[in-house]
Every structure is written in C-alpha cells, then in structure tokens.
C-alpha cells in the first residue's frame, strides 16, 4: 500500500464509509509506518474538532442589512426603469418560444397586411396615373379641336365643334372657342352646330347670357332660329329684352319674326 | 326610246333657255400646279348661279356669263338709248392647287359654269338670283345659298350645305366615313340620298315639316331635362326637340335642320 492510497483510505475512514477489509489494511499500514500514524492521529483530531464546531446564527443586523440592500435596488430600478420596448420585447420573446401555430398565423397575417398595403399603394398610384392621362387626353382633344377649327374645310370644323360634346363641360376655354366660332365662322352649319354645343354647357349663367345676346349678332335666319329655340328651352326670362331689340331690327326673315314674337308670349 | 325623247326635250329646253338669256360668255382655263393631287376651289359671290362639274382633265375651266339686257330700244331715257353695260371684272387665282375665283362687280349677277378635275373640294357661296349645282365631284363640298336651291349629284365625300329659301338635294355615290355632315334650310325641302351601307347618327330637327326615311333608324329617346330654379322654387321639365337616329349602328353626326319643309333621308 502506497502512501497516497493510505491517505485516500484514511479520509474514507474518517467519513465512516470504509469497509472492514480496507480498515484492516489501513491499520496494518499505520502500524508499519509511525510517521503516517502521527499524521493519522492529527487528522483524526482535526476531524473530531470540526464536528464539534457550532454553526453561527445569522445576526439581527444581517437581516436588516439585506432588506436595506433590496430596498436600494428597488429604488434604483424605479429611478431607471427598463424601457417599455425591452419589456415588450421580452414578453414577445417569451410568447414566441411557444408553439408554432401562433407563429404561422402571425406570418400569414403579416403577409396579407403587406399585400394589402402594396395593393393600396399601387391603386393610388394607378388612379393618379389615370387622372393624369385623362387630363392629357383632354388637353390633346382641346388642341386637336383648335387645330381642326383652323381648317378651311367646313366638315372638319364641324367635327371640331362636335368634339366639344366629349369635353369637360366646365371648361371656360371651350366655351370661349365655341363663342368665337359662333361669331366668326363663315359657314352657317358650323355656327348652327356651335349653338347646339354651347347649349350643352348652358348651365352656367354667363354662358346663357352670352348665347342669348348673340342672337343680335347673327344674320342667318337658320342660326337665329336655332338660338331662339335654345332660349325657349332654357326658359330664360331675361331674354325678353334681347328678343324685343331683335324684333326692332330690319330685314328679319318673316318666319323668324313670327317665331320670335311667339317666343315672347311663351316666356 | 322614251328616255331618248325626254333627253332631247331636255337638251332643247336648256338650249332655249341659254339663248333666251342672251349670255355673253367668257372662258378662262387654269392648269393646276400639281395636276395629280386633289385641288380646292373657292367661289363666293352675291348674285348669280354656280354650276360645277367634275371632268377627267387636269385643269379648271371657268366659264362666266352675265345676263344681258339687249332690249336697248325699250329702255330709252330722254331720247337716249341705253348702251348695255355688261363689262365685269373677274379674277381666278391659282396657288398650290387652290383656286379662288372672285368678281370685282358684286352687284352684277354672274353665272358660272366650272369644270374641275374630279378630285376637288369645293366652297361655293351665293346669295341671290341663282342656284348651286354640282355633279361628279369627289371631295368635301361646302355650299351656302340664300335665295336659291342647292343640288349636288353623284358626290363622293362629305357635304355641308345650307340655304334659306330653296331646297337642298344631295345624292351621294360614296361617303367619307369619318366626317360629320350638315344640311340645313328654312323654307325648302331637304332631300339627301346616301349609299345603303351608310353608318351615321342623324340629328334631325324639323319645326313644321315632316321627316321621312327608308333607312332603319334606331331612335334615341331623349330624356326630359329637369331644371330647378332655387330662387323661385319651381322645377322645369323640357324636352329637346331634336330627333336622334342611329343608322346601321351609328357613326359621325349628320345634322338635318329645317323649318318649313320636309326632310327626306333616302337609301340608294
């Protein structure tokens, strides 16, 4: 038996869990080595003394100190609380580590939300684009109308006047162009078409007044008749004075004179 | 045979008429600067008739005449004879296939007989003492008359015609499909014959006359216009007196307006 082995056996003996055979071997070693016997005795004494040591009771002061420390920590926490996002993050983290079902639901919901946002953005964009295009088309139509009105050919000018039906009714430029045509176009049929086109936008009082006044400027009985028809349709009471001054004109076609007189009765 | 006899009578009648009028005729022939391209002719006058016929040549032939009054013996004044004053001024300007005919004597009734190349757009105005007559022309035709009729025959293209005291008669052989047209009169019938395959939207208004057509028209019902007058607190209902009819599905707008006379829209 070596010295180290004897030391191990000695510790087991002191603990009290050494079997009889090993106790006999240890006794033999102790008896053979007086130096080890001395060490064994001193260690045995120490062990015995350790068992006799009393566990000290915690003092009343230590308890107080602990509470003071805890209170200090609490106060520190209240002064510098954990930010809400960290708390939320922590909560989500705890929740997140749960089952896969909520994770899957969350994923799908986010995907749908994204799609919806994307669709809405796209929709807004395309609506803007459509509005922009419609405006451009309107402007192009206007330009085309003006270009056509410059043409020598009466049928092309007629086409231009008819284009006014497709345009924005509230556009004052269109009204102006139509009135110019009514006043200056050399062709009676083009002027006639202009009267009809102006009638379409006659919901503006200004336009009505101007159309009624134009009766005095027109020489052609066909156009005069068309304007009187429009006056009847509009039931514009203020047209009375215009028709009266129209009737004072000379060289009015008898049929138109009769018609104007009848109109006065109708208004 | 019957037809031939009628034709002869017709010719005789024309000859007689010409000789009766004792016209003094002048002819101006104008070559086109670009003979193969379509041309345009403009003639605005106050008095006299205009007749334009398409021919196969490349030039424009203008024949102008005034009605003479040679009965100088009758018109004596204080022992003097009236010397016929038949001089008139006439100018024909050709510029890049555009021909403009004008007379410096607006009070003189000048009757024109003009031959143009078939492809020619016309702009013809007259006011008194004459009719407008066009035949065998391809192009856009604009005619205005006041105290006379308008007669257009064998026309290809588009027409805008207006007269006050006279009828408007048009016969198309072919029409320009995209161009709107207009026919108006006050005291005369409007009679227009179109090819059977016409596609158009007719917009018709006839105050005291009737409207006839052998085209099947899909008539649009016009909704009464309702207007509110906020100030006087009343509502007004009015109906547009225009008749809208789609022919063969509809197309460019053809306007027909008359007051005292019927409107005929015929199918060839």
Could you read off the pLDDT of A177-233 as tens digits, one per residue? 889 999 988 899 999 999 988 888 777 788 888 888 899 989 888 899 999 988 888
Which candidate, A247, A153, A140, A232, places its Cα nearest to that of A195?
Answer: A232
Where does residue A235 fall: left (phi above 0), alpha (psi -120 to 50 degrees), or beta otherwise? left
A125 near A110, Cβ under 8 Å? no
A contacts of B240 (beta carbons < 8 Å): 233
DSSP H helical ranges for A33-153 = 34-52, 60-79, 84-96, 100-149
Q: Domain for residue B68, yes or no?
A: yes
Q: Could you identify the residue written with the tokens 């019927």?
A: B262
d(CA B182, CA A188): 10
Cα Rg of chain B (Å, integer) = 22
**CB contact B184 to A (< 8 Å):** yes
Q: Domain for residue B228, yes or no?
A: no
Task: Give the model's pLDDT for residue A54.
Answer: 72
Task: Give the model's pLDDT for residue B12.
Answer: 44
State how many domains chain B has. 1
Task: Give the model's pLDDT for residue B264.
Answer: 93
Interface with B, mutate which of A144, A162, A189 (most B CBs under 10 A): A189
Token reading at B26: 């002048």
B251 near B175, Cβ under 8 Å? no
B2 near B32, Cβ under 8 Å? no
- Check B182 against A229: CB less than 8 A apart: no
Chain centre distance of CA B110: 17
d(CA A183, CA A171): 19
The region of weakest confidence among A93-107, A229-243, B111-125 is A93-107
**CB contact A251 to B (< 8 Å):** no
Task: Give the model's pLDDT for residue B106.
Answer: 74
Over residues A40-68, the mean pLDDT reads: 80
Class of domain A168-266: mainly alpha
Could you read off the pLDDT of A166-175 as tens digits, one per residue? 776 566 788 8
How many other β-carbons are positioned within 10 Å of the β-carbon of residue B268? Answer: 12
pLDDT grade for A82, boundaries at 50, 70 and 90? confident
d(CA A227, CA A263): 11
B185 near B262, Cβ under 8 Å? no
Indicate the length of chain B as a whole number. Answer: 268
Could you read off the pLDDT of B190-204 as tens digits, one per residue? 999 999 999 999 999
Scanning B213-232 for CB atoms below 8 A from A yields: 225, 227
What is the DSSP secondary structure assignment for residue B128, as one 8-state letter? B
Cα of B207 to nearest chain A Cα, Å? 10
Q: Domain for residue B34, yes or no?
A: yes
Over residues A120-139, the mean pLDDT reads: 81
Task: Give the model's pLDDT for residue A115.
Answer: 92
Q: Domain for residue B4, yes or no?
A: no
B259 near B207, Cβ under 8 Å? yes
Q: Which domain holds residue B31?
A: 21-148
**CB contact B41 to A (< 8 Å):** no
Averaged pLDDT, groups of 10, chain B, 268 residues long: 54 41 73 90 92 92 78 62 73 90 82 94 91 94 93 94 93 89 93 93 89 88 63 62 87 91 91
Over residues A30-36, the mean pLDDT reads: 82
Mean pLDDT of chain B: 83
A contacts of B252 (beta carbons < 8 Å): 159, 162
A contacts of B182 (beta carbons < 8 Å): 158, 189-190, 192-193
Task: Give the model's pLDDT for residue B18.
Answer: 39
Token reading at A80: 């510098």
Range of A12-16, A48-52, A104-108 with top mean pLDDT:
A104-108
Q: Domain for residue B176, yes or no?
A: no
Q: Where are the domains of chain A?
A: 3-43, 168-266
B245 near B230, Cβ under 8 Å? no
Q: Could you give the angle at which helices A239-248 and A254-266 cross, rounded to 10 degrees?
A: 150
């Amino acid at each position: 038996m070596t010295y180290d082995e004897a030391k191990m056996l000695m510790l087991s003996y002191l603990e009290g869990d050494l079997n009889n055979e090993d106790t006999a071997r240890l006794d033999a070693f102790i008896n053979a080595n007086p130096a080890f016997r001395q060490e064994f005795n001193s260690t045995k004494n120490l062990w015995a003394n350790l068992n006799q040591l009393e566990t000290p009771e915690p003092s009343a002061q230590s308890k107080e100190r602990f509470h003071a420390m805890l209170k200090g920590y609490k106060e520190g926490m209240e002064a510098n609380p954990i930010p809400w996002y960290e708390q939320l993050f922590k909560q989500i983290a705890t929740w997140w580590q749960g089952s896969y079902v909520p994770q899957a639901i969350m994923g799908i919901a986010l995907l749908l939300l994204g799609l919806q946002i994307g669709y809405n953005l796209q929709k807004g964009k395309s609506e803007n684009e459509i509005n922009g295009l419609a405006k451009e088309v309107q402007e192009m139509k206007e330009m085309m109308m003006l270009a056509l009105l410059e043409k020598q050919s009466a049928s092309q000018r007629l086409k231009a006047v008819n284009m006014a039906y497709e345009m924005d009714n509230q556009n004052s430029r269109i009204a102006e162009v139509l009135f110019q045509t009514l006043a200056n176009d050399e062709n009676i049929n083009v002027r006639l078409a202009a009267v009809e086109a102006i009638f379409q936008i006659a919901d503006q009082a200004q336009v009505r007044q101007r159309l009624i006044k134009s009766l005095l400027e027109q020489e052609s009985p066909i156009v005069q008749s068309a304007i009187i028809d429009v006056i009847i349709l509009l039931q514009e009471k203020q047209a009375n004075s215009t028709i009266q001054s129209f009737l004072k004109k000379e060289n009015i076609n008898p049929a138109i004179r009769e018609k104007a007189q009848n109109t006065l009765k109708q208004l | 045979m019957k037809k031939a006899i009628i034709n002869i009578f017709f010719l005789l009648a024309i000859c007689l008429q010409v000789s009766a009028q004792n016209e003094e005729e002048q002819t101006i022939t104008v070559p086109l600067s670009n003979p193969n391209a379509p041309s345009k002719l403009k003639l605005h006058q106050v008095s006299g008739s205009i007749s334009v016929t398409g021919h196969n040549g490349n030039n424009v032939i203008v024949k102008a005449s005034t009605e003479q009054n040679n009965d100088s013996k009758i018109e004596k004044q204080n022992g003097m004879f009236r010397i016929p004053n038949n001089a008139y001024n006439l100018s024909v300007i050709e510029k890049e296939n555009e021909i403009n005919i004008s007379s410096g004597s607006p009070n003189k009734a000048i009757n024109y007989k003009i031959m143009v190349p078939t492809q020619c757009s016309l702009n013809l105005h007259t006011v008194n003492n004459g009719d407008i007559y066009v035949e065998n022309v391809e192009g856009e035709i604009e005619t205005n008359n006041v105290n006379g009729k308008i007669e257009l025959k064998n026309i290809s293209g588009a027409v805008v015609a207006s007269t006050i005291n006279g009828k408007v008669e048009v016969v198309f052989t072919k029409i320009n499909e995209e161009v709107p047209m207009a026919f108006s009169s006050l005291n005369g019938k409007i009679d227009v014959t179109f090819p059977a395959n016409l596609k158009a939207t007719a917009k018709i208004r006839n105050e005291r006359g009737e409207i006839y057509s052998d085209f099947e028209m899909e008539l649009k019902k016009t909704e009464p216009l309702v207007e509110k007058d906020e100030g006087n607190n009343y509502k007004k209902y009015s109906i547009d007196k225009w008749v809208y009819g789609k022919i063969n599905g509809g197309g460019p707008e053809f306007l027909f307006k008359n007051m005292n006379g019927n409107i005929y829209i015929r199918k060839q």
